[in-house]
């Protein structure tokens, strides 16, 4: 009977390179010092005694990760349906997705991250203007809001865009109290959008990795 301390119980480690642009391409190699190529992801797997299939870092056999990819795809579709049903996103987001392909696999997340960066600057500028007790430059506020409306429309951020439109209406009427209420609502809606899109991108990233290890290993 083998002892648990017997070397035969030790897992045999393997390393896996998956091109970030094509996670379906899988290559497994023996353990070695790896100089990871640009745009490649490195995964580690192990063959455990008594297991016919290699085990991923999650502890699951690789063939089970294919099932995980299907579950993640279903999770992704459910979340997207929720975001559309709640009016958080509109069809412009789908048009943005259609521009993403194998040559630019991160196109949507890159565009959205630029949107987040610019939006947070606009939010800071709007709050700074309204916190000034002597504030009277509603034209400047209108310029910021027009930028926010345009960028939100371009990624399909429907609810954020609608709040910006109401905010601009209050600004056009020089309604400071209305602008303060609109700013609070805008910050709230922006926070919801950012959290949900980060969740969406995280599921998509997990799905791509899970889908990639479904394919046969190369010797």
**What's the pLDDT at 55?**
41
pLDDT at 212: 62
d(CA 217, CA 60): 16
Q: What is the pLDDT of residue 199?
A: 94
Residues 6+ apart with CB under 8 A from 22: 102, 105
The count of residues in the chain is 219
Domain 62-211, CATH: 1.20.120.160
Tens-digit pLDDT profile for the chain (219 aa)? 444 444 443 444 444 444 444 444 444 333 343 444 443 333 444 444 444 444 444 444 444 445 577 888 889 999 999 999 999 999 999 999 999 888 888 899 999 999 999 999 999 999 999 999 888 999 999 999 999 999 999 999 999 999 999 999 999 999 999 999 999 999 999 999 999 999 999 998 888 787 663 333 333
pLDDT of the residue at 93: 96
- Cβ-in-10-Å burial (0-12, 13-18, 19+) of 53 comes to middle
pLDDT number for residue 67:
55
Report d(CA 143, CA 100) in Å as an integer.
31
Q: Taking CA 90 as the corner, what is the angle to CA 85 and CA 94, rounded to the nearest 5 degrees?
A: 115
């Amino acid at each position: 009977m083998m002892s648990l301390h017997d070397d035969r119980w030790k897992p045999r480690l393997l390393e896996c390179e998956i091109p970030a642009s094509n996670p379906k391409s899988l290559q497994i190699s023996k353990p070695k010092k790896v100089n990871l190529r640009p745009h490649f992801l490195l995964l580690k797997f192990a063959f455990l005694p008594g297991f016919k299939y290699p085990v991923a870092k999650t502890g699951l056999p690789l063939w089970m990760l294919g099932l995980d990819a299907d579950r993640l795809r279903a999770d992704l579709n459910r979340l997207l349906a929720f975001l559309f049903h709640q009016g958080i996103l509109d069809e412009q987001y789908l048009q943005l997705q259609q521009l993403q392909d194998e040559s630019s696999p991160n196109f949507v997340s890159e565009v959205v991250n630029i949107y987040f960066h610019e939006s947070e600057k606009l939010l800071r500028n709007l709050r700074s203007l309204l916190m000034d007790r002597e504030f009277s430059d509603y034209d400047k506020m209108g310029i910021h809001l027009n930028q926010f409306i345009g960028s939100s429309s371009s990624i399909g951020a429907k609810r954020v865009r609608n709040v910006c439109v109401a905010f601009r209406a209050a600004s056009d009427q020089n309604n400071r109290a209305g602008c303060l209420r609109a700013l609070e609502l805008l910050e709230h809606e922006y926070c919801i959008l950012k959290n949900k899109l980060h969740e969406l991108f995280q599921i998509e990233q997990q799905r791509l990795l899970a889908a990639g290890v479904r394919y046969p290993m190369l010797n």
